[in-house]
Chains A and B, each alone.
Chain A
Amino acid sequence: MDLDKFKVHGEPLIYGAMVSIALATIGILVGLTYFKKWGYLWREWLTTVDHKKIGVMYILAALLMLFRGGVDAMMMRLQTAAPEMKFLDAQHYNEVFTTHGLIMILFMAMPFIIGLMNVIIPLQIGARDVAFPRLNAVSFWLFFMGAMLLNISFVIGGSPDAGWSAYFPLASLEFSPTVGNNYYSLALQISGIGTLITGVNFIVTILKMRAPGMKLMKMPMFTWSVLITNVIIVFAFPVLTVALALMMFDRLFGSQFFTMANGGMDMLWANLFWVWGHPEVYIVILPAFGIYSEIIATFSKKNLYGYTSMVFSMLIISLLSFLVWAHHFYTMGQGAMVNSFFSITTMAIAVPTGVKIFNWLFTLRKGRITFTTPMLYTLAFIPIFTIGGVTGVMLAMASADYQYHNTMFLVAHFHYVLIPGAVFAVIAGFHYWFPKVFGFRLNERLGKHSFWWIVISFNVTFFPLFFLGLMGMTRRTYTYSEESGFGPLNMLSFVGAVGLAIGFLLLVYNIYWSTRYMPRDTTSDPWDGRTLEWATHSPMPVYNFAIVPTVQTRDALWSAKQDNIPLYDDKKITKIHMPSNTGKPFILGVIFFILGFSLVFSLWIPAILSGIGVIVMLAFMSFDRDHGYYISAEEVIATEKKLKRGETV
């Protein structure tokens, strides 16, 4: 065995990372042992099938990844802050921007959204859990192990360095001989399988488990957005699975799908990647639209304006998202005709998106708008995202894109779409639903401080990049000359990045401060909400609803409060069927991790053993005869009494 492959060569930064990872790991292990929390961790978290806990774990992992990706971003902005900076070398910079993209999209934005939907969707449709709770745990652990696999690449063997789009032949063994892109293919594959399972799980959950009376056109907008998103997942992710498998064959087994010689086609990779990659953008954006719709309605005290056109615009966006992938390579020489087709389909997306913007604005009209932290993020989203949207239309024009393509203009555009579109949304959703899960609000004053830091710094960071693009600065450039004139704007952008970091640190401080000092919420409906998730206790009991509510209107809880339409009969408590915890999904995840790691380094014996392990584990799980357990009616009544007195269970 060649031990050299495991080593990452030489930079103080990487050694620092190694030491800090080692210290953190030791700290966690010692802490768990000292406080005797191993049993608690295993019983309450590692083996849980409760959608709320799985959601919380998704969000925790996503926050962790936000900081990993954020540190990458800071390093990039620092490296380009001035001409001829010597902070990072080319190789290190390439690894940093590659993992920044991968982590932020796949291991931050998407899991954060999946986390929120895990927590909220069953509550919002009046269900007790998702359709397949154990599969849900499998999804989480596969995502988590994929994320960890990608993260250790930084210190063991080297990170992927061919960009998050990993274009061939650059990503092939020929031009990227280190194991970095092996990590890419395997980490994404493992977490991608998890995401695909989530997609199936939530489609079934939403279609089959809605409360009585909740017809499709009575579903809350967030539920609609999640349903559509999961349909996109189910259509898009198999393409990624195939593309990554071909990539793995190319890199590990010498096949030649994407190579330069022997009939390999580099454009095939570009096509497969973007056939998945473009819908992927909408996988993170559409749920954000759902979150904003909920928040705007709640804090303007109005029902959503143009509900039907909102739903149809999302359906049209999801359809179009599959018809525009070639706009990522207008400059690949595909001719004016093909480019024109993809230009028009791309620009067409602006129409349904515009419909949503105007519907939101008209929801605000005649409302009574309160500026809470989640509402501030939502309101900031509208003007900033519109800039992202109109620059998107500009980029969609194929001819003009010949000048923007691969430049900082593009970088500015997608940050103007993704940060207000996805990041603000998950933070807004986080503030909005936090009291539901934990029973207390985050501090509003700290929340607003962090909001202003984030929003202003965001613009300082990314607005200059539009101009840098027009000045001819290409993306992914680790250094530039003094004469290029890129210096001042890059420095401004770095200053903004520092502000963003302060904003995010304030957000974390807010979580810490609020956990310690915020008063516990006794109403279970702190925002005067409109949808079913606010109809149960905060934090909610394991069974969510003691009695399954019956829905008659779109804003079921609002109608119950305003027009006294009862949600359920209080007397009708019966025994409740719940799934039992299981450690198998976690163990399966660990085996997948070992399989992935072994394949990255071509360690065939452990790879074969863990491959067999995966199959055995799957077979074992499919014969599982555990049908869950019942919570007796008496126990439910006792719990409800306790919760009503404001005690925790």
Chain B
Amino acid sequence: MKKKGPLYALFLSLILLLPGCSSLTVLNPKGPSARTLSDTIILSIVVMLGVLAVVYILYIFVLVKYRAKKSNEGYIPEHEEGNKVLEAIWIIIPIIIVAFLSVVTVKTTTEVENVAADYKDQTPLVIYASSSNWKWHFSYPEEGIETVNYVNMPVHRAVEFRMYSFGTITSLWIPQLAGQKYAMSDMLTTLHLSADTEGSYIGKNANFSGKGFAHMEFEALVMSNKDYDEWVNDVKETAPELTEDEFKSLLATDFLGRKTYSSTHLEFSPPPGDHSEHMSGDGSEMDMDNGSEEHQDNKEIHPSPEPSSGTEFDSEPDPEVEQPLPSSPVDAETHDGN
């Protein structure tokens, strides 16, 4: 067929150009969550290729058979209203396909939103991942340590990332370990992942966040349990403590290399709770909110520290601090600029 020739040649050459499937990071998973997603994607590709095949075969058939040529000159096609049976077929079959894919979606979405089946019996290792202009802060509350722009994890261990942001919306993505999830300033989001293989994986912010977005990458290093414990002990012994002042200077710097600390910023700058907590200014409202059932549910999932100290998440600045502290470098720039 005149029309299809170049297109097929094109697709073929594209596939040949690919350096091989292993470079398709998303389809080369190293953990159960990413594997679920990779399987889902491959399944959907197969189903969709089937759909494409039906459309393409029909398409080529009608174009070849019913094109204008000398032999059918003067032929005036008859009026054809439609056909209820045929139309019903191409309504019902797509509904079946969509229903099938819906079941797969609901199942896999629920799966990756929870701890992977193989790791159900473990209590997940909690790591807080917060973003501030073009860097990532990883806090390990259990270990009492914090890293900037890299994260270390033990292999074969359920890990629960709790994400939030000190600025614009970002999206934490380690393609070979799990799908991405947004980090926002006014709530915590959760990402479950675990790695089956030791190794160094690329992690990045996937959501556009301004000037330094392209450079907002980090390394996710998966190591053996023993190495991980050694590393934690090492950090505790040798790394400096993260003070509030130090943390503020981190926030105020646009680009940073790796940093390691033997305490976390969660102590003086707690992560956001849910909406009502974030929105209310004074303690009395807090108590009322906490009384509601919905709120308590949320508390169980994300036990956030006492909301007493003044942070950037409170509506009113702490009366003891003269100036509200800049929540991000751009914030500071803006104030200076004016």
Is B327 an interface residue when CB atoms closer than 8 A count as contact? yes
B87 A355 Cβ-Cβ under 8 A: yes
Task: Known contacts A303-B80, A406-B206; decide if A399 and B179 are in contact (CB<8 Å).
Answer: yes
**A432-471 CB contacts (< 8 Å) to partner B:** 452, 456, 459-460, 463-464, 467, 469-471
Is A350 an interface residue when CB atoms closer than 8 A count as contact? yes
When distances are taken between beta carbons in the complex, the residues of chain B under 8 Å from A474 are 173, 204-206
A333 B180 Cβ-Cβ under 8 A: no
Q: Which one of A191-199, A362-370, A504-512 is at the B interface?
A: A362-370
A348 to B96, CA, bound (A): 11
Is B243 an interface residue when CB atoms closer than 8 A count as contact? no
Q: Which residue of B lies closest to A479 (CB)?
A: B214
B51 A390 Cβ-Cβ under 8 A: yes
B87 A306 Cβ-Cβ under 8 A: yes
Is A402 an interface residue when CB atoms closer than 8 A count as contact? yes
B214 A477 Cβ-Cβ under 8 A: yes
Q: Which residue of B lies closest to A335 (CB)?
A: B113
A333 B181 Cβ-Cβ under 8 A: yes
When distances are taken between beta carbons in the complex, the residues of chain A under 8 Å from B169 are 167, 169-170, 266
Is A632 an interface residue when CB atoms closer than 8 A count as contact? no
Return the contact of A371 from the options B65, B67, B112, B278 (Cβ within 8 A): B67
B62 A343 Cβ-Cβ under 8 A: no
Chain A residues close to B by CB (< 8 Å): 90-91, 94, 161-163, 167, 169-170, 173-177, 260-263, 265-267, 300-303, 305-309, 329, 331-333, 335-336, 339-340, 343-344, 347-348, 350-351, 354-355, 357-359, 361-362, 364-371, 379-380, 382-383, 386-387, 390-391, 393-394, 396-403, 405-407, 452, 456, 459-460, 463-464, 467, 469-472, 474-480, 485, 488-489, 492, 562
When distances are taken between beta carbons in the complex, the residues of chain A under 8 Å from B27 are 470
Instruction: Give B193 Cβ to nearest chain A Cβ, in Å.
Output: 11
Is B77 an interface residue when CB atoms closer than 8 A count as contact? yes
A343 B210 Cβ-Cβ under 8 A: no
B187 A94 Cβ-Cβ under 8 A: no
A632 to B111, CA, bound (A): 75
A-B CB proximity, top 9 nearest: A402-B179, A333-B189, A306-B82, A390-B48, A399-B108, A472-B25, A170-B168, A476-B208, A406-B206
A467 to B25, CA, bound (A): 10
Task: Known contacts A266-B169, A403-B37, A403-B179; decide if A365 and B66 are in contact (CB<8 Å).
Answer: yes
A479 to B214, CA, bound (A): 6
When distances are taken between beta carbons in the complex, the residues of chain A under 8 Å from B209 are 170
Residue of A300, A306, A402 with most partner-chain B CB within 10 A: A402
Return the contact of A354 from the options B90, B205, B275 (Cβ within 8 A): B90
Task: Known contacts A94-B210, A302-B80, A406-B171; decide if A399 and B109 are in contact (CB<8 Å).
Answer: yes
A477 to B38, CA, bound (A): 24
A333 B187 Cβ-Cβ under 8 A: yes
A370 to B66, CA, bound (A): 9
Is B202 an interface residue when CB atoms closer than 8 A count as contact? yes
Is B105 an interface residue when CB atoms closer than 8 A count as contact? yes
A265 B37 Cβ-Cβ under 8 A: no
Is B117 an interface residue when CB atoms closer than 8 A count as contact? no
B66 A366 Cβ-Cβ under 8 A: yes
Instruction: Give B136 Cβ to nearest chain A Cβ, in Å.
Output: 15
A357 to B54, CA, bound (A): 11
When distances are taken between beta carbons in the complex, the residues of chain B under 8 Å from A357 are 55
Task: Known contacts A306-B87, A340-B105; decide if A301 and B77 are in contact (CB<8 Å).
Answer: yes
When distances are taken between beta carbons in the complex, the residues of chain A under 8 Å from B330 are 174-175, 177
**B27-69 CB contacts (< 8 Å) to partner A:** 27, 34, 36-38, 40-41, 44-45, 48, 51-52, 55-56, 58-59, 62-63, 65-68
Instruction: Give A486 Cβ to nearest chain B Cβ, in Å.
Output: 10
When distances are taken between beta carbons in the complex, the residues of chain B under 8 Å from A456 are 6-7, 10
B312 A403 Cβ-Cβ under 8 A: no
Q: With A306-B83, A467-B24 given, name 7 new contacts (CB 8 A).
A: A94-B210, A301-B76, A307-B81, A358-B90, A386-B56, A393-B44, A397-B105
B66 A260 Cβ-Cβ under 8 A: no
A169 B72 Cβ-Cβ under 8 A: no
Q: Which one of B12-20, B218-226, B233-241 is at the A interface?
A: B12-20
When distances are taken between beta carbons in the complex, the residues of chain A under 8 Å from B204 are 472, 474
Q: Which residue of B lies closest to A176 (CB)?
A: B210
When distances are taken between beta carbons in the complex, the residues of chain A under 8 Å from B205 are 474
A351 B95 Cβ-Cβ under 8 A: yes
The dominant DSSP class at the A interface is: helix
Is B297 an interface residue when CB atoms closer than 8 A count as contact? no
Instruction: Give A159 Cβ to nearest chain B Cβ, in Å.
Output: 14
B210 A383 Cβ-Cβ under 8 A: no
25 contacts between A and B (CB under 8 A): A91-B211, A94-B208, A167-B169, A302-B77, A302-B80, A332-B184, A336-B109, A343-B102, A347-B98, A351-B91, A354-B94, A364-B62, A369-B62, A383-B4, A383-B59, A397-B109, A399-B37, A399-B108, A400-B37, A405-B179, A459-B7, A467-B18, A469-B26, A492-B17, A562-B76
Task: Known contacts A303-B80, A340-B106; decide if A351 and B94 are in contact (CB<8 Å).
Answer: yes
Q: Mark B1-13, 1 if CB is under 8 A from A, else 0.
A: 0011011001100
A382 B59 Cβ-Cβ under 8 A: yes
B24 A470 Cβ-Cβ under 8 A: yes
Task: Known contacts A463-B10, A485-B19; decide if A355 and B90 are in contact (CB<8 Å).
Answer: yes
Q: Which residue of A lies closest to B21 (CB)?
A: A470
A405 B67 Cβ-Cβ under 8 A: no
Task: Known contacts A175-B167, A472-B175, A476-B208; decide if A398 and B109 are in contact (CB<8 Å).
Answer: yes
Return the contact of A405 from the options B11, B171, B211, B275 (Cβ within 8 A): B171
Residue of A364, A368, A398, A474 with most partner-chain B CB within 10 A: A474
B181 A386 Cβ-Cβ under 8 A: no
A370 to B173, CA, bound (A): 50
Task: Known contacts A90-B213, A266-B185, A383-B56; decide if A307 and B105 are in contact (CB<8 Å).
Answer: no
B26 A370 Cβ-Cβ under 8 A: no
B109 A339 Cβ-Cβ under 8 A: yes
Is B256 an interface residue when CB atoms closer than 8 A count as contact? no
Return the contact of A266 from the options B87, B184, B190 (Cβ within 8 A): B184
**B79-136 CB contacts (< 8 Å) to partner A:** 79-83, 86-87, 90-91, 94-95, 97-98, 101-102, 104-106, 108-113
Instruction: Give B315 Cβ to nearest chain A Cβ, in Å.
Output: 5
Instruction: Give B17 Cβ to nearest chain A Cβ, in Å.
Output: 7
Residue of A339, A367, A475 with most partner-chain B CB within 10 A: A367
A595 to B223, CA, bound (A): 61
Task: Known contacts A336-B113, A467-B24; decide if A309 and B210 are in contact (CB<8 Å).
Answer: no
Is B292 an interface residue when CB atoms closer than 8 A count as contact? no
B101 A347 Cβ-Cβ under 8 A: yes
When distances are taken between beta carbons in the complex, the residues of chain B under 8 Å from A176 are 210
Q: Which residue of B lies closest to A477 (CB)?
A: B214
Return the contact of A472 from the options B36, B171, B202, B313 (Cβ within 8 A): B202
A369 to B62, CA, bound (A): 9
Task: Known contacts A331-B182, A470-B25; decide if A364 and B63 are in contact (CB<8 Å).
Answer: yes
Instruction: Give A96 Cβ to nearest chain B Cβ, in Å.
Output: 13
A329 to B184, CA, bound (A): 12
B101 A393 Cβ-Cβ under 8 A: yes
B77 A368 Cβ-Cβ under 8 A: yes
A406 B207 Cβ-Cβ under 8 A: yes
Q: Which residue of B lies closest to A387 (CB)?
A: B52
Return the contact of A331 from the options B181, B187, B214 (Cβ within 8 A): B181
Instruction: Give A307 Cβ to nearest chain B Cβ, in Å.
Output: 7
Task: Known contacts A266-B169, A333-B187, A467-B18; decide if A368 and B68 are in contact (CB<8 Å).
Answer: yes
A533 to B104, CA, bound (A): 48
When distances are taken between beta carbons in the complex, the residues of chain B under 8 Å from A390 are 48, 51-52
A365 B62 Cβ-Cβ under 8 A: yes
Q: Which residue of A lies closest to B188 (CB)?
A: A333
When distances are taken between beta carbons in the complex, the residues of chain A under 8 Å from B34 are 403
A367 B24 Cβ-Cβ under 8 A: no
Instruction: Give B45 Cβ to nearest chain A Cβ, in Å.
Output: 7
B7 A263 Cβ-Cβ under 8 A: no
B55 A366 Cβ-Cβ under 8 A: no
B327 A260 Cβ-Cβ under 8 A: yes
